[in-house]
Chains A and B, each alone.
Chain A
Amino acid sequence: MDTKKIRNFSIIAHIDHGKSTIADRLIEYTGTLSKREMENQVLDNMDLERERGITIKAQTVRIDYKGKDGEMYCLNLIDTPGHVDFTYEVSRSLAACEGALLIVDAAQGVEAQTLANVYMALEHDLEIIPVINKIDLPSADPDRVKQEIEDVIGLDASEAILASAKTGQGIEEILDAIVERIPAPSGEADKPLSALIFDSYFDSYKGAIAHIRIMDGVLKKGMGLKMMATGKVFDATEIGCFRPQTTELQEMGPGSVGYLAGSLKQVRDVRVGDTVTLAEGGVTEPLPGYRGVTPMVYCGLYPVDSADYDNLKDALEKLQLNDAALVFEPETSIALGFGYRCGFLGLLHMDVIQERLEREYNLKLITTAPSVIYHVFKTDGEMVTVDNPSDLPDPTTIDHIEEPFVKATVIVPKDFVGAVMEISQNKRGEFKSMDYLDVNRVMVIYHIPLSEIIYDYFDKLKSSTRGYASLDYELADYQPAKLVKLDILMNGEAVDALSTIVHVDNAASRGRSLAAKLKTIIPQQMFEIPIQAAIGNKIIARENVRALRKDVLAKCYGGDISRKRKLLEKQKEGKKRMKAVGRVEVPQEAFMAILNID
Chain B
Amino acid sequence: MTTDFGVYIHIPFCKQKCFYCDFPSFAGREKYIDEYLNSLHHEMELGAERIAEKGKLTPHTIYIGGGTPSHLNLSQMQMLFEAIRANMQVKDVAEFTMEVNPCTIDEEKLHLMKANGITRVSIGVQSFDDGCLQRIGRIHKSSMAIEKVRLAQKAGFDNISIDLMYGLPGQTLDMLKKSLDKAMELGIQHISVYGLQLEEGTVLAKQQEMGRLELPDDEAVEKMYDYLVEYLPAHGFSRYEISNYAMDGYYSRHNTLYWQDVPYLGFGSGAHSYWRGNRYENPVDICEYIKATAEGKFLHIVEEAVSEKAHMEEFCFLGLRMTKGINKEKFMEKFNRDIYEVFGNAIKEMTAKGLLQENDGVLSLTPMGMKYGNMVFGAFIIE
Please give the residue numbers on chain A whose beta carbons come within 8 Å of chain B beta carbons, in ascending order.
Answer: 526, 546, 548-559, 561-562, 565, 568-569, 571-572, 575-576
Contacts and interface: CB of A to CB of B under 8 A. Distances in A.
A526 B372 CA distance: 8
A194 B242 CA distance: 79
Interface stretch (B77-85, B110-118, B149-157, B214-222): B214-222
B383 interface: yes
22 contacts: A549-B219, A550-B372, A551-B372, A552-B373, A553-B374, A554-B194, A554-B197, A555-B194, A555-B197, A556-B259, A558-B8, A558-B272, A558-B273, A561-B258, A562-B281, A562-B303, A565-B313, A565-B381, A569-B381, A571-B381, A572-B378, A575-B378
Contacts of A572: 378, 381, 383
Nearest to B369: A552
A550 B222 contact: yes
B368 to A, nearest CB: 8
A554 B264 CA distance: 21
A561 B225 CA distance: 23
B255 interface: yes
Given A559-B271, A562-B303, A551 B373 contact: yes
B371 A552 contact: yes
Given A553-B374, A569-B381, 13 more contacts: A549-B218, A549-B221, A550-B222, A550-B371, A552-B242, A554-B243, A555-B194, A558-B273, A558-B274, A559-B270, A562-B303, A565-B317, A572-B378
A420 B375 CA distance: 48
Interface string B215-250: 000110110010000000000000000110000000
Nearest to B355: A526
B337 to A, nearest CB: 20
Rank and list the top 4 A-B pairs by shortest CB-CB distance, nearest first.
A552-B373, A549-B222, A549-B218, A554-B194
A549 B303 CA distance: 34
Instruction: Determine which residue in B219, B242, B272, B377 has the highest number of CB atoms from chain A within 10 A of its CB, and name it.
Output: B377
Contacts, number: 92
B218 A546 contact: yes
A576 B382 CA distance: 11
B158 interface: no
B195 A554 contact: yes
Contacts of A571: 374, 378, 381
B377 A568 contact: yes
B205 interface: no
Interface of A (DSSP majority class): loop
Contacts of A556: 242, 258-259, 318, 321
A549 B217 CA distance: 10
A558 B381 contact: no
Interface in B34-82: none
Contact of A568 (B221, B371, B374): B374
Nearest to B242: A552
Contacts of B303: 562
B124 to A, nearest CB: 13
B370 interface: yes
A101 B266 CA distance: 69
A464 to B, nearest CB: 30
Interface in B315-346: 317-318, 321
Contacts of A569: 381
B279 interface: yes
Given A549-B219, A554-B194, A571-B374, A559 B243 contact: no
Interface in B259-311: 259, 264, 266, 270-274, 279, 281, 303-304, 310
Contact of B258 (A549, A551, A558): A558
Contacts of B372: 526, 548, 550-552
A551 B374 contact: yes
A576 B222 CA distance: 28
Contacts of B264: 558
B314 interface: yes
Interface in B104-151: none
B103 to A, nearest CB: 22
Contact of B272 (A548, A559, A565, A576): A559
Given A553-B374, A553-B377, A559 B266 contact: yes
Contacts of B194: 554-555
B258 A576 contact: no
Instruction: Determine which residue in A549, A555, A559 has the highest number of CB atoms from chain B within 10 A of its CB, and name it.
Output: A559
Given A561-B314, A562-B304, A555 B374 contact: no
B374 A552 contact: yes
A568 to B, nearest CB: 5
Contacts of A550: 195, 218, 221-222, 225, 371-372
Nearest to B225: A550
B279 A561 contact: yes
Contacts of B225: 549-550
A557 B254 CA distance: 10
Contacts of A546: 218
A565 B315 CA distance: 12
Given A555-B194, A555-B243, A559-B272, A576 B266 contact: no
Contacts of B378: 568, 571-572, 575
Contacts of A557: 255, 258
A561 B318 contact: yes
A18 to B, nearest CB: 43
Contacts of B197: 553-555
Contacts of B381: 565, 568-569, 571-572
Nearest to B197: A554
Contacts of A553: 197, 242, 373-374, 377
Instruction: Determine which residue in B8, B271, B273, B375 has the highest number of CB atoms from chain A within 10 A of its CB, and name it.
Output: B375
Nearest to A557: B258
Contact of B279 (A552, A562, A576): A562
Contacts of B221: 549-550
Contacts of B219: 549
A575 B383 CA distance: 11
B371 A551 contact: yes
A551 B225 CA distance: 11
A561 B243 CA distance: 16
Contacts of B373: 551-553
A552 B383 contact: no
A565 B314 contact: yes
A424 B188 CA distance: 72
Contacts of B255: 557
Contacts of B272: 558-559, 561-562
B18 to A, nearest CB: 14
Instruction: Determine which residue in B266, B304, B317, B321 has the highest number of CB atoms from chain A within 10 A of its CB, and name it.
Output: B317
A551 B218 CA distance: 11
B249 to A, nearest CB: 21
Contacts of A551: 371-375
Contact of A576 (B242, B243, B273, B383): B383
Nearest to B377: A568
A223 to B, nearest CB: 54
A549 B258 CA distance: 27
Nearest to A576: B383
Contacts of B353: 526
Interface string B186-221: 000000001101000000000000000000001101
Nearest to B265: A558
B314 A552 contact: no
Nearest to A553: B374
B166 to A, nearest CB: 9
A576 B378 CA distance: 11
A107 B380 CA distance: 57
A568 B376 CA distance: 10
Given A561-B279, A572-B381, A552 B8 contact: no
A118 B295 CA distance: 71
A550 to B, nearest CB: 5
A552 to B, nearest CB: 4
Contacts of A561: 258, 272, 274, 279, 314, 318
A562 B219 CA distance: 30
Contact of B317 (A555, A558, A562, A568): A568
